[in-house]
Structure 1
């Protein structure tokens, strides 16, 4: 990683804000001073993972989904229904990583746009099943193609072996969540 200048002191608004990687370096210095026993490698891993993920998601939303009249959340819900078929709102929330309330709010918007239908659940008359409409199916196909093209552009930074290694490592981290009792959205 390139050596970056030290970020401006807190409260100094005259300087331009540091880039993210300079912030990580500054965070590492500060943490090591206040918490000498801190696991700096773990901290850097999750600062970097979080920043990388949020940067990619922002890029996808701002270059693909918003210009097409959608959002990252709507893409995730439409994709879950496209991949899995009709789902209950609870199943949709679990598969998308969204809260049940977020799925409910988003469903209303997507029903209003004609992309989803709410149907009475065949198993429980008090519940609903979410299903893509023909317009919803067409929308997710177009959105997926654009999304996948952008994903490929991002992934070009890594060799095929590096991509495989990264996926394997992320899957290993996700397996750890059960061992440590990490909470997941329900």
Structure 2
């Protein structure tokens, strides 16, 4: 791939650029490699197992969440999938058009939308997940079962740190201010 640098090349470039700065190098490498590993695994799974059933990573994660948790309100699905409610709206409409998910109004609060797998969606997940899991085994093949358990536990602790203390840290860093609104990248309308 033109322009592609290996993880080793990237680490050498970072050291050359940042060598004199007082940094938390092991922590920087950990966070960088979490991102790189997640991107590499996502791309591999999208280009292998998920391509065959015409699903994106995000669509698969939404199906997974609803498959595991059962009928769920969209806000909870978005939260569990790690996506915005706006993104979920588009993904769930696409999945609904494919006949994999059903959207319905909440029985006691018509403002809320519930998601549930259709029979076809549940059948797809029962068929695809074992293939997906085989690729999970493939991408982790260089690790022993014990290394997988230890890495999973370490990553759980990272997630827990952000979930339990991240908001407090954000408030400290921003002196209690709200973060600036995200920009979409679109030009303002004239």
| TM-score (norm. length: structure 2) | 0.82
Aligned partner of 2:24 among 27, 31, 39: 39
Q: Which residue of 1 aligns with 2:118?
A: 133
- What secondary structure sits across from 1:124 in the alignment? coil
- 1:105 paired with 2:90, answer yes
In structure 1, stretches of 5+ residues that fail to align are 1-14
Equivalent-residue separation in structure 1 for 2:115 and 2:9 (angstroms): 45
Q: List, as ranges, runs of 4+ consecutive aligned residues in structure 1 with deviation greater than 3 Å.
A: 15-18
1:147 matches 2:136: no
1:93, distance to aligned residue in structure 2 (A): 0.3
> In terms of mean alpha carbon deviation, does 81-90 or 43-52 score higher?
43-52
Q: TM-score, normalised by structure 1?
A: 0.84
2:165 corresponds in structure 1 to: 179
Q: Which moved more, 1:79-88 or 1:149-158?
A: 149-158
Secondary structure (helix, strand or coil) at the match of 1:102 reads: helix
Correspondence for 2:179: none
Q: 1:109 to 1:51 in 2, by over 3 A?
A: same
Q: What does residue 78 of structure 1 align with?
A: 63
Secondary structure of 2:72's counterpart equals coil
Once residues 167 and 51 of structure 1 are traced to their aligned partners in structure 2, the CA distance between those partners, rounded to angstroms, is 16
Deviations 1:113-172 (A, max 9, x none): 111111110231122111110111111112211100111112221111111111111111
Which of residues 3, 20, 23 is equivalent to 2:7?
A: 20
Q: 1:16: how far off? A: 6.0
- Alignment: residue pair count: 167
Residue 16 of structure 2 is aligned to residue 29 of structure 1: yes
2:91 aligned counterpart, secondary structure: helix
Distance 1:48 1:64 in 2: 23
3-state SS, counterpart of residue 70 of structure 1: coil
Q: Distance in 2 between matches of 1:85 and 1:17?
A: 41
Moved more, 139-148 or 78-87: 139-148
Structure 2 residue runs of 5 or longer lacking an equivalent are 171-190
Residue in 1 that maps onto 2:177: none
> How far apart are 1:19 and its partner, in Å?
1.8
